Amino acid sequence: MEDPIDVVLKFEQLINSRSAEAVCSLVTSDSALIDSMGNRIEGASKLRTAWAAYFRMVPDYTISHSEILANGETVAVFGSAQGSFTKDGNLRKEDFWKTPAAWHAVVKDGGSRDGRSSLTTNQSARSCGSMNSGDGVPGR
């Protein structure tokens, strides 16, 4: 199994690519995202749809970390999220936001045929959250 911190860092990179396909290339069928409002989205198809919608709504969305802590398969990430909300696809300076954010991820060996891991995360603050993760090889 890949190091849980490495899995979470790969997810951060893929989220910052703002490609739902890239982000979901690492998810397994039992992956879940729990947003800051407690909404739970499960499964690769639903996650792909949710990420695509979010990236349309916040097309310049990025996250960053300032600290990452791990205890076994549990990873805590502290940092920030930022982007610009848009209704029409046009980015306007007045719609930009940046907020502190924290994510709680549990990275487990999913036991799937392709060897990917399952990552379930909880996100807090205004950012969009957590994900499930894989073996680090996009497209597998």
| Between residues 80 and 124, the one the model is more confident about | 80
Q: What is the pLDDT of residue 120?
A: 53
Q: Which two tokens stand for residue 65?
A: 């970390």
pLDDT band, very low/low/confident/very high, at 18 (cuts 50, 70, 90): very high
Helix/strand/coil (H/E/C) assignment for every residue in the chain? CCCHHHHHHHHHHHHHHCCHHHHHCCCCCCCEEECCCCCEEECHHHHHHHHHHHHHHCCCCEEEEEEEEEECCEEEEEEEEEEECCCCCCCCHHHEEEEEEEEEEEEEECCCCCCCEEEEEEEEECCCCCCCCCCCCCCC
CA gap 39, 83 in Å, rounded: 21
Mean pLDDT across the chain, nearest whole number? 78
Architecture (CATH level 2) of domain 4-125:
Roll (3.10)
pLDDT band, very low/low/confident/very high, at 112 (cuts 50, 70, 90): very low
User: Model-level pTM?
Assistant: 0.77
β-pair partners for 107: 119
List the chain domain ranges: 4-125
- pLDDT above 90: percentage of residues in the chain: 42
Read off the amino acid at residue 21. E
Q: How are beta strands 74-84 and 117-125 bridged, if at all?
A: unpaired
